[in-house]
Structure 1
Amino acid sequence: MENFEDIMKAAQNVQEELQKAQASLENIEVEGVSGGGLVKVRASAKGIIKGVQIDDSLMTPDEKQVLEDLIAAALNDARVKADAKSQEEMGKMTSGLPLPPGFKLPF
């Protein structure tokens, strides 16, 4: 039964480390960019949008469709970067944990 207890302790440690990693993702920021920097979106590694910056040159009625497209592209870029950063950070936290091969986190 000692082996089972070791497994349970390891699972508790994994859960604690995951909670720490999830909390740290809120403080890590990424920036999505489109239009060569005309539109920028700041987001947390958890994907929460923190801010949007739009170049003044896009603030004309003629540029409405372009602006909408650039905002969508910047949001998507931020999301991709947030996902990548999240995976990177979670990988750092779980790299030293004794997990079986092929075991994916979170559960």
Structure 2
Amino acid sequence: MLKGLGNLGDMAKMMKAATEMQGKMADLQEQLARTVVIGESGAGLVKARATAKGEVTGLDIDASILVPTEKEVLEDLILAAIKDAQSRGQERNIEEMRKLTEALGLPSNMPLPF
């Protein structure tokens, strides 16, 4: 067919592989949207729940820190917990993408989606 290109010469195989990869990427994106990570600050006094895609879904604030004079501290703790949750979600996202690229026989550091 296309001599000198080895396996790349078979367009049908390439299209099938691309379609398969697209399906696996869609499945992974759905899985990441359902995966919940927890971020914490203030030694666990404030916790933020987020998806592995970074969407914050909830907060848990220990009542002991609900002091009106400490409003700024509470705001800082909430922001820190949210950032921690988003960071953990991003780490999970990267790890799952790495697993997918390796399962597809691609280099683990290949950025997906293309």
Equivalent position to 1:77, from 61, 78, 84: 84
The AA in structure 2 aligned to 1:106 is P
| Structure 2 stretches lacking a partner, 5+ long | 2-8
Q: CA deviation at 1:5?
A: 2.1
In structure 2, the CA distance between the partners of 1:71 and 1:33, relative to structure 1 (3 Å rule), is same
TM-score by structure 2 length? 0.84
List 4+ stretches of structure 1 deviating above 4 A.
Answer: none
Equivalent position to 1:36, from 35, 38, 43: 43
Paired-residue identity, %: 46
Mean CA deviation greater in 6-15 or 30-39: 6-15
CA contact (8 A) 2:54 2:89 kept: yes
The AA in structure 2 aligned to 1:66 is V
* Residue number in structure 2 paired with 1:14: 21
The AA in structure 2 aligned to 1:75 is I
Q: Aligned with 2:31: secondary structure?
A: helix
Mean CA deviation greater in 18-27 or 4-13: 4-13
Point out which structure has higher relative CO (alpha carbons under 8 A, 6+ apart): 1
* Residue number in structure 1 paired with 2:69: 62
Structure of larger gyration radius: 2
Root-mean-square deviation over aligned CA pairs:
1.7
Count the aligned residue pairs: 107
CA contact (8 A) 1:14 1:94 kept: no
